[in-house]
Structure 1
Amino acid sequence: MHYDVIVVGAGSMGMAAGYFLAKSGKRTLLIDSFNPPHNRGSHHGETRIIRYAYAEGEEYVPLVLRAQELWHDLEKATGRQLFLQTGVLSVGEEKTDFIQNIISSSKTYSLPLDVIDANEVNKRWAGISLPEDYIGCFEPTSGVLKSEECIEAYRELAVQQGATILTNSRVKEISVHGNSVTVRTDNQTFTSNSLVVSAGAWARSLLSMLGLKLPLSPVRKTFAWFDAEEDLYHHEDFPAFVFETAQGLYYGFPSIGGSGLKVGRHDGGNRINPDESIPGFGELEEDAGDLSQFLQHFMPGNKPLKYGKTCIYTLTPDENFVIDLHPEYSNVAIAAGFSGHGFKFSSAVGQALSQLIISGKSEIDLSPFSIGRF
């Protein structure tokens, strides 16, 4: 069967791309090895932070601001509440690149940001205990995205726009010959004029079929929910947070709907083969202890573990994204290597991928995410 565009990988970026392509009138097929949203992607675990004064670099700010516009559009189109404006508190030592990049980004783009010392942080949020040499950067307009619901919403709209979604179907072979793309699954063959590869942890093996060897490393990550005092940590009173500490970079969420305090560690993790069984939360000795230790240090008190989950990061060497056209095939767009901080951008990345396919260029500057840097 022939399509205008085939999207391989219908998770965060792919589902959004499929919607924008179908909306533009392209006959679109999305293929996924699982049934999105699912527990084998980077989107797993209910929620993700969205912040604008970006610690990872100012080049991300236009992309995330566009993404937030599109998240609001998605809420209007589906009638779902997908964004909670909890604010986001970023914490660290003042002179670090992490904190200075946040302050610099806020100034460059005139973003709301309260820079406050440790004493003020401790007064404003009684559930936090910061040492004196830390400061906080609070973004009042940032917050939390319901990640799995976002994918469900884009899936709903993509189908409404006429997209076909083929789930639980693993792609076995991809080939490109001029303006023709062939994609084979276990038992079906499809052709198209163009291709989007947005397959998360499986991107490296799929792109190797197209002669492209990107340095992508899938990593197992964990996060967990802890019982916590609702009067201190409820989402109407407590922000999402990112803490750069001497032990590592941690992030977390307030208690949303009585779910408890959710905490994860951004750095570290174990490299995996995504085709093999991934240990569940608690199967590795360090899973719960590391997170509990962080809480005891910065949010002390009795916080029993409720449960934990795993997800997959796919890291690039510089932990920056890959969003680009294939260097040899102008009809193949690639989104990969989101390195554990990509979900918030996925609405804008999906739109950018559709623009790359339709016109060969994106309205947003994607040059920082070029394949050429590798």
Structure 2
Amino acid sequence: MTPSLRVAVVGAGAFGGWTALHLRRAGALVTLLDAWGPGNSRASSGGETRVIRAIYGPTRTYVEMAARALTLWREWDRTIREQFYRPTGVLWMTSADDSYVRQSLPFLRELGLEFERIDPSAAARRWPQISFDGIASVCFEHEGGYLAARLACDAVARELVRIGGTYRQAAVASIGANRGRPDVRLSDGSRLDADRFVFACGPWLGRLFPDVIGARVRATRQEVFYFGAPAGDDRFVESHLPVWVDIGERFVYGIPGNLYRGFKIADDTRGPEFDPTGGDRTPSPDLGRAMRAFVDRRFPALRGAPLVGAEVCQYENSPDGHFIIDRHPAMPDVWIAGGGSGHGFKMGPALGEMLARQVREDASPDPFFALARLENTRVDF
């Protein structure tokens, strides 16, 4: 890469922001754009917090990427002198089939990531605020925790500008091709010029690239609820309770304290299709009641706790749940990064490092993330 390589990165979320920062650190001239701003409320990277964990079933690629991301998040906190990574640990509770957890443990062991298998009765003594009724298997992942999501997106963009990059709040109106070169027009009528482009636009990728992406990335409506602990009760803040995951009939997770906003809980099950630009973000009473019933059962001391907050966000799902990181087949100077599928935020530093290297070196994409794998995949979700 020559020092004069100009790269435009569209989308200032976890994928785009970190890619832009890694590119700038390597000497590229970088412009980062976002239609509404880093970590905005419409973005898949918006919201207060995200879980970071390395347990990923049998998928070693993600375990390795999560391990690298953990290292980079620690380095980031030291560099910025703020704490975005909160190492509470992640408590995995499974009611029957624990294969998702069990299949990752050899990878964690090889990578030096600490974990414990705990008998449910011992776990109940260690975390008495949790009811382990119906739980057959417990595993504690020591280096997991949560991340300050929205604040991190803003901090990454600010750091980019501090070291000589450019940030613009602007929307892409159209992308055309002229002899294999992209012709990118912004909503103000101007043309976006660069040698290479990275589009990390989350749920909007399908609209910008209807032929290449189209329905291969779809947004689903996801809801998050915050319950309030009794006054003065510190059993449900991160000093006394880790991030937790409950795998039973559904995949439910929670973040204690959640930067003091409340006891966060969400159902990871994919919701209905959703319009990320203008969709109604009013939480649904039915899911709120279901989450309250879950809290009453699993955390008895919070029975009847008031709902102190709720929000609607979205996942931007690929058909197989894996990220999409590839070149545009007709415009080799265009890279596409998306399909976070509800688990991408924590990977931002590692994914951005990888993608920035591929863009700088004009390298081939990793086949695991390439578009070719989706050629014969149904996209009806």
What is the TM-score of this pair, normalised by structure 2? 0.90
How much is the aligned-residue C-alpha RMSD, in angstroms?
2.1
Q: Is the 8 A contact 1:321 1:339 kept in 2?
A: yes
Structure-2 residue corresponding to 1:287: 287
Q: Is the 8 A contact 1:180 1:193 kept in 2?
A: no
Structure 1 residues 133 and 65: CA distance shift in structure 2, 3 A: closer
Q: Is the 8 A contact 2:39 2:46 kept in 1?
A: yes
Cα deviation digits, residues 348-369 of structure 1 (max 9, x gap):
111122111101338xx93322
Structure 1 residues 368 and 214: CA distance shift in structure 2, 3 A: farther
Alignment partners' CA distance in 1, 2:129 and 2:8: 48
Alignment partners' CA distance in 2, 1:179 and 1:5: 17
Alignment partners' CA distance in 1, 2:210 and 2:317: 17
Structure 1 residues 257 and 5: CA distance shift in structure 2, 3 A: closer
Q: Is the 8 A contact 1:225 1:307 kept in 2?
A: yes
Cα deviation digits, residues 220-267 of structure 1 (max 9, x gap):
111111112533212111100111121x11111111453321111111
Alignment of 1:23-172 (within 5 A): 23-55=25-57, 57-93=59-95, 95-167=97-169, 169-172=170-173
The code of the aligned residue for 1:39 comes to S
Unaligned 5+ runs, structure 2? 375-381
The code of the aligned residue for 1:244 comes to I
Alignment partners' CA distance in 1, 2:247 and 2:70: 24
Structure-1 residue corresponding to 2:206: 204
Matched, 1:278 2:314: no
Count the aligned residue pairs: 366
SS in 2 for 1:70: helix
1:286 deviates by 1.9
SS in 2 for 1:182: strand
Matched, 1:215 2:216: yes
Q: Is the 8 A contact 2:39 2:47 kept in 1?
A: no
Structure-1 residue corresponding to 2:323: 321
Alignment partners' CA distance in 2, 1:194 and 1:178: 15
Alignment partners' CA distance in 2, 1:48 and 1:56: 22
Structure-1 residue corresponding to 2:377: none
Runs of 4+ in 1 over 6 A off after TM superposition: none
Matched, 1:242 2:245: yes
Alignment partners' CA distance in 2, 1:73 and 1:166: 26
1:46 deviates by 0.9
Alignment partners' CA distance in 2, 1:93 and 1:322: 32
Structure-1 residue corresponding to 2:369: 369
Structure 1 residues 214 and 266: CA distance shift in structure 2, 3 A: same
The code of the aligned residue for 1:232 comes to R
Cα deviation digits, residues 123-181 of structure 1 (max 9, x gap):
111111112442111011221111112112211111012222111x2211113445743
Structure 1 residues 85 and 133: CA distance shift in structure 2, 3 A: closer
Identity %: 27
1:105 deviates by 3.2
Structure-1 residue corresponding to 2:234: 231
